[in-house]
Amino acid sequence: AQKVTQAQTEISVVEKEDVTLDCVYETRDTTYYLFWYKQPPSGELVFLIRRNSFDEQNEISGRYSWNFQKSTSSFNFTITASQVVDSAVYFCALSEARNAGNMLTFGGGTRLMVKP
Amino acid sequence: DAGITQSPRYKITETGRQVTLMCHQTWSHSYMFWYRQDLGHGLRLIYYSAAADITDKGEVPDGYVVSRSKTENFPLTLESATRSQTSVYFCASSGGQGLGNTEAFFGQGTRLTVV
């Protein structure tokens, strides 16, 4: 069965520090998708990124970057020069290709607090 | 308005009462999902639906009932609410994993408190 582990339950940094959120996953499928979602204090879930299992290229989007390593079953998320607005709960999630509808298995989430 | 909407946003109910959470999407997405969010567990799948009149259990289905008579609606019913069902409930929809369908879209969430 699929599983997603976010070992860091809470991280606190000072503004402008870089921070990496860890995500480790388990799946028996060879085709799967990995996601990151952000949940700000207002409560909604904001989609950040989706990667498929055949694309191990790292991705950068502004201050956000993602490091996908199949060898270690990890999909880590780095925020460079963190800002107070980055304070949120971040969820890593997995969807196996056998579940055609983007059915997601979530990690427990990491609460990031960025202090001014 | 286009999108996925949940109602109510907040609900307080008593133990033993039946309560229904509504979810409506305007994209004609095939797939719809109900998740519950609890501290330390992230979001867990309760039920999902691949199309109208097709539903299936997720990870934590006990105590819940769903139906999907129309593609756009996917109500979740707690038949006899218990305190352990106090949670934030998220509805989501997805067009599937095909080309162009990159994500599941989530509603704003319903915060349910069972007293």
Q: Tell me: the pLDDT tens digits for A40-65?
A: 999 999 999 999 898 888 888 899 99
- Rg of chain A in Å (alpha carbons): 14
Tokens of B33: 């999902």
Beta strands in B29-70 (DSSP E): 31-38, 42-51, 54-57, 64-66
SS3 A72: helix
**Residue A75: per-residue pLDDT:** 97
Residue of B nearest to A1 (CA): B59
Nearest CA to A5 out of A108, A85, A98 is that of A108
- pLDDT for B28 equals 87
Q: What is the C-alpha separation between B20 and B76, in angstroms, rounded?
A: 6
Nearest-Cα distance to chain B for A109, in Å, is: 6
Residue B41 structure tokens = 């567990």
pLDDT at position A104 over 80: yes
The CA distance from B56 to the nearest CA of chain A, in Å, is 12
Q: How close A79 comes to chain B (CA, Å)?
A: 21
pLDDT higher than 60, residue B99:
no
**Strand ranges for chain B from DSSP E:** 4-7, 10-13, 19-25, 31-38, 42-51, 54-57, 64-66, 76-78, 87-94, 105-106, 110-114
* Nearest chain A alpha carbon to B94: A101
Cβ neighbours of B91 in A, within 8 Å: none
- Fill in the amino acid letter for B48: Y
Which has the closest alpha carbon to B95: B22, B16, B25?
A: B25
Whole-number pLDDT of residue B95: 81
Distances (CA, A) of B39 to A116, B68, B88, B95: 26, 29, 10, 29
Compute and round to an integer the Cα radius of gyration of chain B: 14
B41 Cβ under 8 Å from any chain A Cβ = yes
SS3 A85: helix
Say how many CB pairs under 8 Å bridge A and B: 66
* Tens-place pLDDT, residues B20-73: 999 999 988 999 999 999 987 889 999 999 999 999 999 999 999 999 999 999
B13-22, B23-32, B81-90: least confident range = B23-32
Angle at alpha carbon of residue B95, lines to B94 and B99, rounded to 5°: 125
Kindly tell me if the per-residue pLDDT of B101 is higher than 60: no
The residue behind tokens 């997405």 is B29
Q: Residue A109: which of A45, A42, A18 has the closest Cα?
A: A45
